[in-house]
Structure 1
Amino acid sequence: MIGKIATGEIEDEMATTKSAAAQLGSLGGKKRAANMTPERRSEIAKGAAQARWTVKQD
């Protein structure tokens, strides 16, 4: 079967489908954002930006 997928004889079905957990995860983030105030979303975004741009001292 791997050979047939590699040569294009058949399509890999696993590559195109999302797991149930992945499908629910995307819905959860949208629902969480919809329930937050714009001020709270801004606070979270500022914290995330600060974490990305902070240089870690070893």
Structure 2
Amino acid sequence: MADRQRKRPRDPLALAKMIGDIATGQASDTEPDKRNPAAVEMGRLGGQKGGRARAERLTPEQRREIAQKAAQKRWSK
């Protein structure tokens, strides 16, 4: 698996220091990916199937209710 980019700190001063360290070569911008490749692939497969399987299982009335609720939330702001 490829290397992962390091998580950036939220603190502006810590972020500035990290960027400086990366620019000067004192720190690496990436870290090795420690996740299990087989588990990553299995999770990805499940995620690809989930939304479609749920949509096929819903009745048109249920889909309409979900869409109306989402629209109300979106436009209530």
**TM-score, normalisation: structure 2:** 0.43
Report how far residue 45 of structure 1 moved: 0.7
Query: What 5-or-longer segments of structure 1 have no aligned partner?
Result: 1-18
Percent identity, aligned pairs only, is 46
Select the structure of larger CA radius of gyration.
2
Alignment length, in residue pairs?
39
Which structure has the higher relative contact order (CA within 8 Å, separation 6+)? 2
1:33 equivalenced with 2:55 (yes/no): yes
Moved segments of 4+, more than 6 Å = none
Aligned-CA RMSD value: 2.1
Determine which structure has the larger strand proportion and give its number.
Answer: 2
Deviation at 1:22, TM superposition (A): 3.1
2:6 corresponds to which residue? Answer: none
Name the CA distance, whole Å, in 2 between partners of 1:50 and 1:37: 20
TM-score using structure 1 length: 0.54
1:23-50 Cα shifts (integer Å, max 9, x gaps): 3212111001101100100100110111
User: In structure 2, what is the equivalent of residue 15 of structure 1?
Assistant: none
Which whole-Å CA distance do the structure 2 matches of 1:29 and 1:46 have between them? 18
Partners in 2 of 1:26 and 1:51 — Cα distance?
A: 26
**What letter matches 1:53 in structure 2?**
W
